[in-house]
Structure 1
Amino acid sequence: MLALPALLAPAAGFAADKDCPASGSESPLELHRDWIMEGWERREADPAFVFATKMQRYYDLTHTEGVFYDNFAPGQTQLFTDSARYGANWEDLQNAARSVRHGLTSGHDQLLDGNVASTTLGFVGRLERLNGEVLAFDGRSQLGWTCRDGNWKIRQELNYAWVVEPETIADVLGKGELTP
């Protein structure tokens, strides 16, 4: 298994850029929070989910190489090496949902080393399909970030979730505070 620095090393075509924020709203951990609480959220009246439009703040869609894994990924594969293909894979699921809501649990952490970072967080989610079926889950997410032109972008992603009863997470949905 590769060590964290090897996984987060800038890919070919990525220029080292040490001007990315280490704290504040554009730091990796805050971006990870927003990625869950804003990026993947869906309300019934929202426009169609188009990954390249809604998620461009978090992914570099011109340099798409990386490792993107999610055990809940729809379709035939859970592992992708291209962020654009990974993201497009979620469009049908998102657009077939009446709503997708999330909340943060515990386990938040951020490691920074110059132009690379790793963040982890715990989260829950509730997806309601257009047919009324509800899928509730508890999960953990680890993102590997690289600094690109002064902005943090996801280059590695590991998400793992398991199904839970909807009532067990109801009081956490909508809570997006980063607490230890």
Structure 2
Amino acid sequence: MKDIDMKTTFMTLAMLMAGSSLSAETCAQSGPDSPAVLHADWIMEGWERREGEPDFIFEEKMARYCNLQDTRGVFYDNFAPGQTQLFGDAAVYGANWEDLQNAARSVLHGLTEANETLVGDGVASTTLGFVGLINRLDGEVIAFDGRSQLGWACTGEGWKIRHELNYAWIVEPQEIADTLGQRGNRQ
């Protein structure tokens, strides 16, 4: 498993190095605009849907995290709805999730583990463990556990996602109840 993770990381970094502008852009290495914090916010705020919120529109919810002018990249999620799990365009990938999000009363998440690795000033790779609970409008409840790896490129607008690898599996809701319970007043 570690060999696959290392190969994925090296391939991600090579893609980021080749596809990102490593010019004089400066992006935060720590603090609220750093990749590790952005990754957590991306899960906890970007993909969240609370009851009564307006429709989920990817371009509105994810502009902080994704470069919506240059949407090329590699985006994989085994949990992705529809016919495909692999996308080469962030906008197409994101729009693919809108129906699932909008068919939910709520989509809640909790964080389980994280590991950040920054490489140079122009690229970063972050990993994050998370759980989620989808409460669908039709009454179905879907609980899952997942891992996320994001490759970030430093742009004139800060760190933006260029590579995404997510893998999730279905669990029983009680298996993640403690993690979701630690959310405090975020619900």
2:4 alignment counterpart: none
SS at match of 1:172: helix
Structure showing the higher helix proportion among its residues: 2
1:119 alignment counterpart: 126
SS at match of 1:169: helix
Count of aligned pairs between the two proteins: 175
- The 2-side partners of 1:5 and 1:108 are apart by 16
Gap regions ≥5 residues in structure 1: none
Length-normalised TM-score, structure 1: 0.92
Cα offset for 1:170?
A: 0.9
Corresponding letter in the other structure for 1:93: L
Given the alignment of the two structures, is residue 22 of structure 1 paired with residue 35 of structure 2, yes or no?
A: no
Gap regions ≥5 residues in structure 2: 1-6
Question: Runs of at least 4 residues of structure 1 off by over 4 A?
Answer: none
Cα offset for 1:162?
A: 0.5
Given the alignment of the two structures, is residue 60 of structure 1 paired with residue 62 of structure 2, yes or no?
A: no
1:90 alignment counterpart: 97
SS at match of 1:173: helix
Given the alignment of the two structures, is residue 169 of structure 1 paired with residue 176 of structure 2, yes or no?
A: yes
Residues 41 and 100, structure 1, Cα contact 8 Å, conserved in 2: yes
Residues 105 and 122, structure 1, Cα contact 8 Å, conserved in 2: yes
Deviates more, 1:109-118 or 1:163-172: 109-118
* Of 6, 11, 17, the match for 2:19: 11
Corresponding letter in the other structure for 1:139: G
Deviates more, 1:87-96 or 1:100-109: 100-109
Corresponding letter in the other structure for 1:6: A
Length-normalised TM-score, structure 2: 0.88
Corresponding letter in the other structure for 1:116: V
Percent identity reads 63
> What is the RMSD of the two structures over their aligned residues, measured on CA atoms?
1.6
Cα offset for 1:9?
A: 1.4
